[in-house]
Structure 1
Amino acid sequence: MKIAVCIKQVPDTNKVEVDPVTGVLKRNGVDSKMNPYDLYALETALRLKEQYGGEVRVITMGPPQAEAVIYEAFSMGVDDGYLITDRAFAGADVLATSRAISQGLKKSGEFDIIICGKQSTDGDTAQVGPEISEYLSLSSVTNVTEIISADAKSITVKRTLPLAVETVKLAFPCLISVEKDIYIPRLPSYLKKQATKDRKITLFTLGDFDDTDPMHYGLNGSPTQVQRIFPPEVNDKREMWQGESGEIVSKFAGKLKELKFI
């Protein structure tokens, strides 16, 4: 089974500055980590490999330092890694990101299944996986909570929806997005880390793609534009009241009415 996993490097903090002009995150100088939801996708892929055989590769888009999450994936048991990196991809929204990743997946070779995490912690859109499947004309299923079975031609999964649980069988090639309840991710192996520290990562730039139109990527290819960026207001005002309980309750009720909470 040939398995591709989409992973992402995200900020390891919630104190990230935003460029007021472009509306994109300022990632330079910020500690980063692998997107937590992608760990569940990786674990799913590695378990499929262990049970059915095959190979697992990861692909990510980002600046050169995003290689760090690929090497982390190597230390968990991944066989191959691809990094999509080019200034032309900077500032991409979910549509432009999905287009770039789909192009990278096509260049990385054949695959039976693509596995994505539910969403990323820095975007929270949960749209990239389904949009990749649209670009590649693949069947896809989201909200996957269990792998039931697989064979040489298909995979059967369980997906949990708000009002139902569905069992779906997909023919290869296909794409699934998994929930964080599917498995407990394994920890990186120090021995695998040492053994793979010099493993080559394949880089893709815009010129490597079949579609090399720069207007399809980055800010140019992003129909979603941020209109306004501002920090949330911090209200740390407080009042100290003293008196009898009945008096304080009456005053508290009046304050709630004043603030239009009731």
Structure 2
Amino acid sequence: MDRIVVLIKQVPDMEEVRFDRERGVIDRNSAGTEINPFDLNALEAAVQISEKTGAEVFVISMGPPSAKEAIREAIARGASDGVLLSDRKFGGADVKATAATLAAGIRCTGPYSLILAGMQTVDGDTGQVGPEIAEMLGIPHAGYAESIDEVDETSVTLTTRIWDGRYQKKLRFPVLVTVTKDIASPRLPSLKSKMKARKAEIPVIGLDDLDGYLKEEETGLKGSATRVRKIVIPESAERAGAVYRDDMPAAIDALIEVLKDTKVLEVRQGEGI
């Protein structure tokens, strides 16, 4: 196999981040950043394949200039090289526009055999970008892979898990795979690899560099088919209960009222239970 492309995203620390309810977006300045956890699992899976096959691990990310640090961290964790797709015109992209931009970046940066990505990002949770990229590239894809069982020169065999079922699949290259956290446990970078990564030059690709691969109207807000109209953060609910020891008729009446209020039981006027 020639090269493994790993898609990573720099996301805010979701334990600390705040939401801008007026604009319907995450306030990314309200918390620190990290590599999307599922993408770290994908990166580790790629590095393990590379150690067995000698394939190059190439990282691609889309984001602001600060996302260079995420690529450097990926290099410290075993990636060979990487590139950042960054342009103000990419801002505000939904999953469709994001997928179009990443697909253009993949085409622009050369041949590949395998594309790996996390099954979703913790700041979006849609799980749509990976499959959309595969469709735009015209290649097969598999989702929710929990293990990569075999890799040879022409194909990859893997196990996916969907609900309670496991499915073993064999796909010919080129192919895109989104992975779960069970695919591989991310390794910690060594001090030596961190020092090496700090010196790495991270090329930045903008819209002009993707001429012939991507049109302006396909990316950013212009290329987005969806808009966030409102963000609602639900109030946390606590468990509530009542104990009836001596008055069973009252307990039954209370239970019926709860079932009616939650629409588990539908009682028509004039009918008993």
Normalised to the residue count of structure 2, the TM-score between the two structures is 0.85
Deviation by residue 1:105-132 (Cα, 9 ceiling, x = unmatched): 1111111100011110000011111101
Partner of 1:76: 77
Q: What is the rounded CA distance, in whole Å, between the counterparts of 1:55 and 1:180 in structure 2?
A: 22
Q: What is the rounded CA distance, in whole Å, between the counterparts of 2:254 and 2:27 in structure 1?
A: 44
1:24 and 1:91 in contact (8 A); partners too = no
Deviation by residue 1:137-191 (Cα, 9 ceiling, x = unmatched): 1111111111111111111111122253222111111111111112211112211
2:11 and 2:36 in contact (8 A); partners too = yes
Per the alignment, in what secondary structure is the counterpart of residue 208 of structure 1? helix
1:16 equivalent in alignment to 2:18: yes
Q: CA deviation at 1:254?
A: 4.8
1:107 equivalent in alignment to 2:85: no
CA 1:153–1:235 in structure 2 vs 1: closer, same or farther (change >3 Å)? Answer: closer
Of the three residues 201, 212, 215, the one matched with 1:213 is: 215
Query: In structure 2, what residue type is equivalent to 1:65?
Result: S
Partner of 2:142: 141
Unaligned runs of 5+ in 1: none
2:21 and 2:232 in contact (8 A); partners too = no
2:14 and 2:123 in contact (8 A); partners too = no
Unaligned runs of 5+ in 2: 265-273
> How do residues 46-195 of structure 1 correspond to structure 2 at under 5 angstroms?
46-195=47-196
Which segment is superposed worse, 146-155 or 134-143? 146-155
Q: What is the rounded CA distance, in whole Å, between the counterparts of 1:40 and 1:86 in structure 2?
A: 27
Q: What is the rounded CA distance, in whole Å, between the counterparts of 1:87 and 1:208 in structure 2?
A: 13
1:138 and 1:174 in contact (8 A); partners too = yes
2:10 and 2:34 in contact (8 A); partners too = yes
1:19 and 1:26 in contact (8 A); partners too = no
Q: What is the rounded CA distance, in whole Å, between the counterparts of 1:185 and 1:234 in structure 2?
A: 32
Deviation by residue 1:51-84 (Cα, 9 ceiling, x = unmatched): 1112101111111111121111111111101111
Per the alignment, in what secondary structure is the counterpart of residue 182 of structure 2? coil
Q: What is the rounded CA distance, in whole Å, between the counterparts of 1:174 and 1:211 in structure 2?
A: 19
Partner of 2:5: 4
Q: What is the rounded CA distance, in whole Å, between the counterparts of 2:255 and 2:164 in structure 1?
A: 40
CA 1:255–1:16 in structure 2 vs 1: closer, same or farther (change >3 Å)? Answer: farther
Query: In structure 2, what residue type is equivalent to 1:110?
Result: P
Q: What is the rounded CA distance, in whole Å, between the counterparts of 2:103 and 2:214 in structure 1?
A: 13
CA 1:212–1:162 in structure 2 vs 1: closer, same or farther (change >3 Å)? Answer: closer
Normalised to the residue count of structure 1, the TM-score between the two structures is 0.88
CA 1:254–1:165 in structure 2 vs 1: closer, same or farther (change >3 Å)? Answer: closer
CA 1:26–1:175 in structure 2 vs 1: closer, same or farther (change >3 Å)? Answer: same
Which segment is superposed worse, 94-103 or 139-148? 139-148
1:59 and 1:81 in contact (8 A); partners too = yes
Of the three residues 203, 216, 226, the one matched with 1:224 is: 226
Q: CA deviation at 1:256?
A: 9.1
How many residues are matched? 259
Larger C-alpha radius of gyration, 1 or 2? 2
RMSD between aligned residues: 2.7
Give the fraction of aligned pairs with identical amino acids, expressed as a percent.
Answer: 38
Per the alignment, in what secondary structure is the counterpart of residue 181 of structure 1? helix
Query: In structure 2, what residue type is equivalent to 1:16?
Result: R
Q: CA deviation at 1:87?
A: 1.0
